[in-house]
């Protein structure tokens, strides 16, 4: 299918589609012009470049930074707190002309500590890739060789101008740089190489300035053209700058989007946002406090503000090629889980993001899904992690780049689709979208249902586990999304994974529903219903996955718990000894039932357990047990009783899904509990009670940790509830908004 992108969708052409930088705009165009912000405090800039802010980095140790408001289309309001300074970055777009219109960004710096006068340097830049046909940017300098603006042309933007003005406060120094950057991944380095120390006439004070025109000549003597133009303003806090992008084809503009006009435009946008937020989530009418509502707006806004546009090709390894080969070049419009640590697309994360995004703006979500499904190969496979383009690649260690076309990741887009069908925001649009997507949904389903099956009929097995390693305490299952969650200790073909079985059962159900909605022939629709019935048949499920001894759902495989990490007794002389796994008891074919955790909950989480079954009673009982998963902060991933609870997987590999509290599966558990508390059956009331308290615990802890730390986190500690792992992590953790609003 041809996806509508670029100028076909003018109102989403420009956006903050570089979620990996603190602030920057680009277009949904493979070779977009990019703009962005860097800043530093002159007194704390170091030779090695530390102190210069550009990419979101945890190492910068900002107190916090978050989009407080962002609608994914027209405007955004971000607050960045960097030690003594608060940077307010806002932008508003205005449509007009043929190239996506104008926008203005405002960067206002105020003091965090009520002390004014400290100096800060803001650098706003514009860059294009080198050697793209039809792309030019150049500086306009007035008298005294001061930069007065930039003008340029690209194929996607036509002609345009960008002007920067200081709108408030006192300026200490202003300078610019026009240079040739070797790539979009080295813009910070380009700035660092071109900083100089200068003094002003009649003063001995030293300033850090940008070096002006620095254009090398080509070997043929001709001057090269700059592809990077940066403008620096050093000012005393408080002060403010405005950057105004004007599109050349926008000829009937009445006034400039600056000053008071900008104020008014921003006010209007904020008001619309506020009204829509209440219409969609109804938190005010649910009696949340203003502070809680601000938190929820921040969570949603970061999801929308984390949407990026990437272009490039993945590295893919298939069984037909010796080494990894590049996939075709493709665009990806997607949210990212974490702006700092992994600002790129992840397949199963995106299905969770889709829940929140689709309630807020269905069109955006359908667009995101279209892009992802366009990355499917002929076999029906979609890569798990999308590392597209120079900027994205620069953040990934070599060994993680290659994607295997035999490996899966949970098909969570079926969750998104199920959710969209349930909430019916725009039936016509949905029907059309589903009709177009259907052939690829079939291919996707078939890929899972043929390549991920187990040896016994109706069983499934995650591929990609390493059966030969002696380094890991329990070989990881990255494909399942639950990385180090303990599975059979000795991966082999006898394994059967209960979570994967449930995912496929669920997918079959959704395929059946979609088939009905778009009027597929009954034999096709029936086929999926049959598959769903077969895979959700509770007797068969219990036979394959219910451990009679522990009375819990479990994986099955060649397993022993008697494993430990030890330093080898005779270390290789040349390098320091790495711990290895020692197995002190032969593994046997059995249920992996000594570890209770998220995996054991899957038949419940995906609502496959019959409402009147004794299994449901047992799961509900286990859910409330403090020795297993229950904590004041949500459900921990692995029971305290598991031999793998909080264990390192190698000496360097800290526990990840071995105890911490993760929002994505907590959200699904709350959702399932909501379902069982609203479905007739003997255990309704138990479910109702769990629903209330689990939901409350999760919401309260996230709000409290946000107040304390300034961030949403990748996961949360099960003992004190503190945020852990990468931050900000506003991917699935922002599903807290749906919990607050009770949207499932
Ligand atoms: C590799 C980064 C300096 C791990 O949220 C994305 C995924 C989830 O899909 C998965 O379920 N995360 C979870 O277990 C993060 C994966 C990050 C890989 C980063 C190297 C080093 O960069």
pLDDT tens digit sequence for 94-142: 999 999 999 999 999 999 887 778 999 999 999 999 889 999 999 988 7
Is the pLDDT at 381 greater than 80? The verdict is yes
Q: Is the ipTM of this complex over 0.85?
A: yes
Q: Give the closest residue (by CA) to ligand 1 atom 20.
A: 396
Using an 8 Å Cβ cutoff, are 315 and 325 in contact? Answer: yes
CA 398 to mean position of chain CA atoms:
20
- Ligand 1 centroid distance, CA of 342 (Å): 7
Distance CA 448, CA 66 (A): 37
Higher pLDDT, 331 or 325: 331
Rounded to the nearest 10°, the torsion over CA 429, 430, 433, 437 is 180
Q: Which atom of ligand 1 is nearest to the CA of 656?
A: 14
CA angle in degrees (0–180, nearest 5) for 520-370-478: 100
Distance CA 373, CA 366 (A): 10
Is the pLDDT at 201 greater than 90? The verdict is no
Structure-token pair, residue 573: 């002389």
- Ligand 1 centroid distance, CA of 343 (Å): 10
Q: Which sign, positive or negative, has the C-alpha torsion 451, 455, 460, 463?
A: negative
- Specify the range with the lowest mean pLDDT, choosing from 203-207, 575-579, 629-633, 729-733: 575-579
Give the per-residue pLDDT at 294: 98
Predicted structure pTM score:
0.97
- DSSP output for 411-439: -THHHHHHHHHHH-S-HHHHHHHHHHHHH
Q: Which of 118, 622, 686, 714 is catalytic?
A: 714
- Ligand 1 centroid distance, CA of 703 (Å): 24
Q: Is 714 a catalytic residue?
A: yes
CB neighbours of 3 closer than 8 A, spacing ≥ 6?
331, 367, 370, 371, 374
Distance CA 662, CA 683 (A): 26
Using an 8 Å Cβ cutoff, are 403 and 383 in contact? Answer: yes
Higher pLDDT, 503 or 390: 503
CB neighbours of 342 closer than 8 A, spacing ≥ 6?
336, 395, 726
The helix or strand, by DSSP H or E, that contains position 664, with its residue range, turns out to be helix 663-677
- Give the three-state DSSP class for 440: helix
What are the pLDDT digits (tens) for 164-200?
Answer: 999 999 999 999 999 999 999 999 999 999 999 998 7
CA angle in degrees (0–180, nearest 5) for 224-225-229: 135
Q: How many CA atoms lie within 13 A of 234 on its CB side?
A: 17
Q: Is 622 a catalytic residue?
A: no
Q: Which residues line ligand 1 (CB under 6 A)?
A: 337, 341-342, 346, 348-349, 395, 397, 400, 481, 483, 731
pLDDT bucket at 217, cuts 50 / 70 / 90: confident
**Sole residue written with tokens 């059946």:** 512
CA angle in degrees (0–180, nearest 5) for 680-683-684: 50
Give the per-residue pLDDT at 158: 97
- Ligand 1 centroid distance, CA of 539 (Å): 36
Q: Give the closest residue (by CA) to ligand 1 atom 8.
A: 481
Phi, psi at residue 153, to the nearest 5°?
A: -145, 135
Buried b (16+ CB within 10 A) or exposed e, 355-367: bbbbbbbbbbbbb
Alpha helix ranges (H) inside 151-231: 187-193
Using an 8 Å Cβ cutoff, are 351 and 337 in contact? Answer: no
Q: Which of 63, 119, 151, 483 is catalytic?
A: 483
**Sole residue written with tokens 């709000």:** 703
The helix or strand, by DSSP H or E, that contains position 603, with its residue range, turns out to be helix 598-605
- Ligand 1 centroid distance, CA of 42 (Å): 34
Q: Which atom of ligand 1 is nearest to the CA of 657?
A: 14
Q: Which sign, positive or negative, has the C-alpha torsion 569, 572, 574, 580?
A: negative
Distance CA 630, CA 620 (A): 11
Give the per-residue pLDDT at 398: 85
**To the nearest whole percent, how much of the chain has pLDDT over 70?**
99
Q: Does the bond joining 435 to the residue before it have cis omega, within 30 degrees of 0?
A: no
Is the pLDDT at 519 greater than 80? The verdict is yes
CB neighbours of 158 closer than 8 A, spacing ≥ 6?
97, 98, 99, 247, 248, 249
Query: Going by DSSP bridges, is the β-strand pair 402-404/315-317 parallel, antiparallel, or unpaired?
Result: parallel
Using an 8 Å Cβ cutoff, are 625 and 452 in contact? Answer: no
Structure letter (DSSP) for residue 578: P
Of 241, 180, 162, 188, give the one whose Cα is nearest residue 38.
Answer: 188
What are the pLDDT digits (tens) for 531-549?
Answer: 999 999 999 999 999 999 9
Using an 8 Å Cβ cutoff, are 562 and 489 in contact? Answer: no
Give the pLDDT mean for 426-453: 96
Give the per-residue pLDDT at 200: 79
Distance CA 522, CA 163 (A): 61
Structure-token pair, residue 48: 């090695």
Is the pLDDT at 1 greater than 70? The verdict is no
Distance CA 553, CA 499 (A): 10
First-to-last CA distance in the chain?
30
Q: What is the mean pLDDT of the chain?
A: 95
Is the pLDDT at 2 greater than 80? The verdict is no
Of 348, 413, 357, give the one whose Cα is nearest residue 385.
Answer: 348
Give the per-residue pLDDT at 285: 95
CB neighbours of 401 closer than 8 A, spacing ≥ 6?
315, 324, 387, 393
Is the pLDDT at 333 greater than 90? The verdict is yes
Give the per-residue pLDDT at 574: 66
- Ligand 1 centroid distance, CA of 400 (Å): 10
Q: Which atom of ligand 1 is nearest to the CA of 483?
A: 14
Structure letter (DSSP) for residue 325: E
Give the pLDDT mean for 580-594: 97
What are the pLDDT digits (tens) for 635-664?
Answer: 999 999 999 999 999 999 999 999 999 999
Give the pLDDT mean for 298-321: 94
Give the per-residue pLDDT at 690: 98
Give the per-residue pLDDT at 5: 82
Give the pLDDT mean for 288-311: 98
Phi, psi at residue 120, to the nearest 5°?
A: -140, 145
Q: Which atom of ligand 1 is nearest to the CA of 384?
A: 9
Give the per-residue pLDDT at 572: 62
Give the per-residue pLDDT at 35: 98
What are the pLDDT digits (tens) for 469-508?
Answer: 999 999 999 999 999 999 999 999 999 999 999 999 999 9
Pocket residue to mutate for ligand 1, from 19, 335, 336, 342, most atoms within 8 A of Cβ: 342
Per DSSP (E only), the strands in 592-725 are 630-631, 634-635, 715-716, 723-724
Give the pLDDT mean for 681-696: 98
What are the pLDDT digits (tens) for 7-37?
Answer: 999 999 999 999 999 999 999 999 999 999 9
- Give the three-state DSSP class for 479: helix
Structure-token pair, residue 528: 């999926």
Give the per-residue pLDDT at 374: 96
- Give the three-state DSSP class for 466: coil
Q: Which atom of ligand 1 is nearest to the CA of 337?
A: 5
Give pairs for 190-199: CB < 8 Å, separation 24+: 190/228, 191/38, 191/52, 191/123, 191/125, 191/230, 192/49, 192/52, 198/173
Give the per-residue pLDDT at 571: 59
Give the per-residue pLDDT at 395: 87
- DSSP output for 221-282: SPBPPPSEEEEEEEEESSEEEEEEEEETT-----S-S-HHHHHHHHHHHHHHHHHHHHHHH-
Structure letter (DSSP) for residue 700: H
Q: Which sign, positive or negative, has the C-alpha torsion 443, 444, 448, 449?
A: negative
Give the per-residue pLDDT at 480: 98
216: how many CB neighbours lie within 10 A of its CB?
Answer: 9
- Give the three-state DSSP class for 96: coil
Using an 8 Å Cβ cutoff, are 663 and 735 in contact? Answer: yes
Structure-token pair, residue 201: 């006439």
Distance CA 245, CA 35 (A): 10
CA angle in degrees (0–180, nearest 5) for 302-303-306: 80
Buried b (16+ CB within 10 A) or exposed e, 573-600: eeeeeebbbeeeeebeebbbbbbbbbbb
What are the pLDDT digits (tens) for 348-367?
Answer: 999 999 999 999 999 999 99
């Amino acid at each position: 299918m041809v996806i509508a992108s670029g100028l076909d969708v003018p109102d989403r052409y420009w956006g903050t589609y570089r979620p990996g930088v603190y602030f920057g705009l680009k277009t949904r165009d493979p070779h977009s012009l990019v703009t962005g912000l860097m800043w530093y405090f002159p007194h704390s800039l170091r030779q090695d470049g530390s102190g210069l802010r550009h990419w979101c980095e945890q190492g910068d140790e900002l107190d916090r930074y978050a989009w407080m408001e962002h609608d994914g289309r027209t405007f955004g309001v971000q607050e960045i707190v960097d030690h003594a300074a608060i940077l307010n970055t806002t932008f508003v777009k205005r449509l007009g002309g043929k190239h996506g219109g104008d926008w203005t960004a405002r960067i206002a710096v105020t003091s965090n500590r009520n002390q004014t006068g400290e100096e800060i340097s803001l650098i706003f830049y514009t860059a294009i890739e080198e050697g793209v046909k039809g792309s030019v940017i150049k500086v306009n300098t007035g008298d005294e060789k001061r930069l007065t603006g930039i003008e340029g042309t690209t194929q996607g933007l036509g002609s345009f101008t960008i002007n920067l003005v200081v709108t408030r406060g006192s300026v200490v120094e202003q300078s610019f740089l026009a240079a040739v950057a070797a790539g979009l991944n080295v813009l910070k380095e380009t700035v660092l190489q071109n900083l100089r120390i200068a003094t002003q006439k009649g003063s001995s004070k030293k300033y850090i300035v940008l070096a002006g025109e620095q254009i090398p000549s080509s070997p043929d003597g001709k001057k090269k053209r700059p592809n990077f133009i940066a403008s620096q303003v050093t000012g005393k806090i408080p002060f403010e700058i405005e950057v105004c992008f004007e599109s050349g084809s926008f000829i009937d503009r009445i006034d400039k989007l600056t000053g008071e006009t900008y104020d008014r435009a921003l006010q209007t946008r904020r008001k619309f946002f506020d009204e829509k937020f209440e219409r969609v989530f109804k938190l005010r009418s649910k009696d949340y406090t203003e502070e809680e509502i601000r938190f929820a707006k921040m969570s949603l806004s970061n999801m929308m503000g984390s949407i990026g546009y990437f272009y490039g090709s993945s590295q893919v390894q298939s069984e037909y090629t010796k080494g990894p080969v590049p996939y075709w070049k493709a665009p990806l419009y997607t949210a990212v889980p974490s702006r700092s640590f992994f600002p790129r697309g992840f397949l199963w994360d995106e299905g969770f993001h889709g829940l929140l995004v689709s309630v807020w703006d269905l069109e955006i979500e359908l667009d995101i899904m279209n892009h992802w499904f366009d990355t499917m190969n002929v076999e029906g496979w979609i890569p798990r992690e999308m590392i597209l383009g120079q900027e994205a690649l620069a953040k990934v260690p070599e060994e993680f780049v290659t994607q295997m076309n035999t490996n899966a990741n949970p098909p969570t887009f079926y969750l998104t689709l199920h959710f969209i069908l349930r909430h019916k925001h725009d039936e016509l649009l949905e029907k059309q979208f589903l009709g177009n997507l259907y052939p690829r949904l079939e291919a996707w389903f078939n890929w899972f249902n043929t390549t991920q099956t187990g040896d016994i009929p109706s069983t499934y097995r995650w591929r990609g586990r390493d059966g030969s390693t002696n380094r890991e305490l329990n070989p990881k299952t990255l494909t399942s999304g639950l990385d180090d969650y303990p599975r059979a200790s000795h991966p082999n073909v006898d394994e059967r994974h209960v979570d994967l079985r449930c995912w496929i059962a669920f997918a079959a159900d959704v395929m059946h529903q979609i088939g009905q909605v778009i009027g597929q022939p009954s034999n096709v629709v029936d086929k999926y219903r049959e598959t769903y019935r077969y895979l959700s048949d509770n007797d068969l499920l219990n036979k394959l996955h219910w451990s009679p001894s522990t009375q819990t759902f479990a994986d099955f495989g060649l397993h022993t718990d008697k494993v430990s990490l030890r330093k080898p007794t005779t270390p290789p002389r040349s390098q320091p000894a790495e711990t290895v796994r020692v197995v002190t008891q032969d593994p046997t074919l059995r249920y992996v039932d000594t570890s209770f955790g998220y995996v054991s909950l899957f038949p419940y989480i995906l609502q496959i357990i019959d409402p009147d079954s004794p299994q449901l009673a047992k799961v509900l009982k286990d859910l409330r047990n403090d020795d297993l998963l229950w904590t004041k902060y949500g459900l921990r991933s692995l029971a305290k009783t598991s031999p793998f609870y909080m264990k390192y997987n190698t000496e360097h590999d800290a526990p990840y899904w071995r105890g911490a509290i993760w929002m994505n599966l907590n959200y699904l558990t709350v959702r399932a509990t909501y379902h069982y508390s609203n479905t007739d059956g003997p255990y309704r009331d138990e479910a109702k009670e769990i629903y209330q308290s689990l939901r409350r615990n999760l919401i309260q802890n996230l709000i409290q940790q946000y107040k304390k730390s300034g961030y949403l986190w990748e996961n949360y500690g099960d003992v004190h509830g503190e945020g852990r792992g990468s931050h900000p992590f506003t991917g699935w953790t922002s599903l807290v908004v749906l919990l607050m609003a009770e949207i499932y």
